[in-house]
Amino acid sequence: MRYEISKEPIQIQAVIDKVVEREAGAITTFIGTVRELTNGKKTLFLIYEAYEAMAVKKLAQIGAEIEERWKGSKVAITHRIGRLEITDVAVVIAVSTPHRADAYEANRYAIERIKEIVPIWKKEHWEDGEEWIGNQLETVSYPSGKPEGEDVHE
Amino acid sequence: MNKVLMFAHLRDAVGQESLDIAASGKTVAELKAMLMEKYDLPKLDTVMTAINEEFAGEDEIIRDGDVIAFIPPVSGG
C-alpha cells in the first residue's frame, strides 16, 4: 500500500522505505506539518476529513502520473486525517528517482496535485471560531464541476 | 436510488453524511439545483462532483445506483 489515508500519526521512515530501490540515486521526502499562524491568525488545532476511498484512488493517480512523467521514479504518499495539533505531520510524500533533480521536481508536483484533486478537507479551529478552508473564500472555482487545466488527468 | 455524499461545510449544512435521493436520469447540474432548493445549502457552483469516485462534469447523467459525492474545493496537504 503505497498510498494511504491514516488516522494514526504517520511513520515517516515507513513511507520512505516504500520507495527504496537499487536503481534510485535520490529520495526526496516532503513533510507537511500543521502551522500555528496563518495570515497572523493563531490556529489551535486542525481537523482533516477525507472521502477516503476516492482520496486513496486520487493519490494513486498522482503516483501513476509521476511514474509516467519521470522515468524510473517511485512514489509513496500517506495523508493523515482526524484531529491534528500544531507541529503534527499531516502528509508525507516520498519520491525516489535515479537522479536528484527529478526527485525534487516530482515531489513538488505531488503536493501541488494533492491540493488540486485529492478529496481531503481541512477545518481550522481558532480561538474565535472555525472554518473549512477553501470553501466560502471561493478562491477556487470549478465552473464545469470538476478540476480544470491541461494537466488534470482523468 | 442514489446515495449522495456530503463533505466539509456541506455536511455541516445538511447535518448528515449522506442523503438517499432518486436522481437517475438527472444531470449533475439538475441534482445540484434540486438539492439547493430542498436544503438550505451554500451555493454549489464551486463544488466539484464525483460519480462512483471519479470526477464528473455538470452535464453527466446519473444512473440508478450511482454514488454521487459533492466535493468542495479541497484543502489537503
Give, for all 154 residues of chain A, the pLDDT tens digit: 999 999 999 999 999 999 999 999 999 999 999 999 988 889 999 999 999 999 999 999 999 999 999 999 999 999 999 999 999 999 999 999 999 999 999 999 999 999 999 999 999 999 888 988 874 444 555 656 677 654 454 4
Q: With an 8 Å Cβ cutoff, is A79 touching chain B?
A: yes
Record: contact A121-B76, CB cut-off 8 A: yes
Residue A145, pLDDT score: 66
Give pTM, 2 decimals: 0.91
Residue A137, pLDDT score: 47
B24-47: string of b/e by CB count within 10 Å (b at 16+)?
Answer: eebbbeebbeebeeeeebbebebb
Residue A138, pLDDT score: 46
Distance from CA of B41 to the nearest CA of A (A): 12
Which position has the higher pLDDT, B13 or A51?
A51
Residue A128: count of CB within 10 angstroms of its CB: 7
Chains A and B: how many Cβ contacts under 8 Å?
Answer: 105
Assembly ipTM: 0.94
Q: With an 8 Å Cβ cutoff, is A153 touching chain B?
A: no
Residue A40, pLDDT score: 87
Nearest to B74 among A32, A57, A115 (CB): A115
Residue among A144, A148, A152, A153 with most chain B CBs within 10 A, to mutate: A144
